[in-house]
Amino acid sequence: MSGGLDSTSLALYMLSQGYEIRAYGFNYGQKHDVELSLVKKNIAYLQSKGYPITHQTIDLRDAFSDSSSSLHKGGDTIPEGDYRDETMKSTVVENRNIIFSSIIYGKALAWANKTQSDVVITLGLHAGDHTIYPDCRPESQEMARELFRISNWGSERVDYIAPFIKIDKGTVLKKGIESCEKLGIDWKVIYSNTISCYNPDELGRSCGKCGTCVERIEAFEKLGLKDPIAYQDTPEVEHEFVLRFFNSKNEEMGTSEILVKSNITDKEVAFNTLPFCDPFVREAKERLYNSHSIRQEIVQVGVTGLADDKFGCLLVALI
Ligand SMILES: [Zn+2]
């Protein structure tokens, strides 16, 4: 369970089928290692709701230290564009899924022996992965299943399947959301703790441009839902910037007042006091108007004087 949309949906689906889950994630030196901390949030959330799930992160950084994949910290820049583009081949990590699966198969055998129960290994592969990633294709999964079976005593207790291998990401998401409903948990909480982006910024926000972001955005659009995570350069981010900007000015300069009202985030955002001077007002206005996504929705930016003798203003931006 990586912290992405596919493996999270799969875990929800298996929980909704009544399984007890031992999930595994891998630190292989990926640039997007923010996923490793996000997955813990979902595990804690599911456990708080009483569901039987544990998670372990396995450190494989040494095993992948020579990787030249663009996903790896030692690799090239991550390409932007459609997931199916030829350029996306640089995101393949050498033999990744077979290495992961092999380790998990060992875990599953040990667990089956210890508990004397049957174990099913489920992989979060889906149809959108097939073009670029050979180790996500049905023939790879089927042959690996056979290889593991003939290579081990006790393998009759362990199955190795990929329930989503024939469906696209939109349908995977739909199954995840339906599973949340069945489990009585909030899908927005769950999916706000996931990330698909290969190239998030230092605040953990998705780029919205890499192949996996494009695919994720399409999946939510297909279901007519709004993705609950933050993307760089979106109205929410712009809005957040404006607030941060005002707050820092507030600290710097003293008292005045601003109201930023937004119907985009459903949050009525506070009155913050700060004094303005003309350059600041110009900068703030410019910033608001330059934000292409919200430009049309600003109905008023007003300036007024303060009660005391200082020059100042009240900026009201109705977004
Ligand atoms: Zn991205």
Give the model confidence (pLDDT) of 67-111 as tens digits.
999 999 989 888 887 767 788 888 999 999 999 999 999 999 999
**C-alpha 30 – ligand 1 centre gap (Å):** 14
| Pair type for strands 268-272 and 257-261 | antiparallel
Determine the average pLDDT of the residues in 29-37. Answer: 89
**C-alpha 145 – ligand 1 centre gap (Å):** 32
Structure tokens at 97: 């899924």
pLDDT at position 283, please?
55
Residue in 17, 53, 57 with CA at minimum distance from that of residue 34? 57
**C-alpha 230 – ligand 1 centre gap (Å):** 11
pLDDT at position 240, please?
57
* Cα dihedral 103, 151, 94, 21 in deg (nearest 10): -30
**C-alpha 84 – ligand 1 centre gap (Å):** 14
Cβ burial of 245 (10 Å; 0-12, 13-18, 19+) is middle
Residue 252 reports pLDDT greater than 90:
no
**C-alpha 4 – ligand 1 centre gap (Å):** 12
**C-alpha 259 – ligand 1 centre gap (Å):** 32
**C-alpha 276 – ligand 1 centre gap (Å):** 37
Of all residues in the chain, the percent with pLDDT exceeding 70 is: 72
First-to-last alpha carbon distance for the chain, in angstroms, is 39
Residue in 3, 2, 19, 4 with CA at minimum distance from that of residue 179? 19
Contact (Cβ atoms closer than 8 angstroms) between residue 256 and residue 219: no
**C-alpha 223 – ligand 1 centre gap (Å):** 20
DSSP annotation of 30:
B
Q: Domain 5-222 falls in which CATH fold?
A: Rossmann fold (3.40.50)
**C-alpha 303 – ligand 1 centre gap (Å):** 38
Please write the tens of the pLDDT for every residue from 293-302. 433 333 333 3
**C-alpha 201 – ligand 1 centre gap (Å):** 9
Residue in 242, 249, 296 with CA at minimum distance from that of residue 269? 242
pLDDT at position 209, please?
84
Give span(s): CATH 3.40.50.620, the chain.
5-222
**C-alpha 224 – ligand 1 centre gap (Å):** 20
Q: pTM score, two decimals?
A: 0.73
**Which has the higher per-residue pLDDT, 287 or 72?**
72
**C-alpha 210 – ligand 1 centre gap (Å):** 4
Residue 306: its H or E element: none
In angstroms, the CA 126 to CA 181 distance is 22
Please write the tens of the pLDDT for every residue from 306-316. 333 332 333 33
In angstroms, the CA 145 to CA 84 distance is 26
Mean pLDDT of the residues in the chain: 79
Residue 197 reports pLDDT greater than 70:
yes
**C-alpha 109 – ligand 1 centre gap (Å):** 36
Locate tokens 């929980």: which residue? 15
Cβ burial of 100 (10 Å; 0-12, 13-18, 19+) is buried
Structure tokens at 93: 């990590």
**C-alpha 18 – ligand 1 centre gap (Å):** 33
* Cα dihedral 34, 37, 42, 47 in deg (nearest 10): 170
Residue in 295, 296, 298, 300 with CA at minimum distance from that of residue 316? 300
**C-alpha 205 – ligand 1 centre gap (Å):** 9
Please write the tens of the pLDDT for every residue from 116-151. 999 999 999 998 887 888 999 999 999 999 999 999
Round the CA-based radius of gyration of the chain to a whole number and report it: 24
Residue in 194, 233, 279, 220 with CA at minimum distance from that of residue 12? 194
**C-alpha 195 – ligand 1 centre gap (Å):** 9
pLDDT at position 313, please?
31
**C-alpha 235 – ligand 1 centre gap (Å):** 17
Structure tokens at 17: 């089928």
**C-alpha 78 – ligand 1 centre gap (Å):** 9
Residue 260 reports pLDDT greater than 80:
no
**C-alpha 206 – ligand 1 centre gap (Å):** 5
Q: Where does the pLDDT of residue 33 fall: very low under 50, low under 70, confident under 90, or very high at 90 and above?
A: confident
Cβ burial of 188 (10 Å; 0-12, 13-18, 19+) is middle
**Which of 166-170, 242-246, 261-265 ranks highest by mean pLDDT?**
166-170
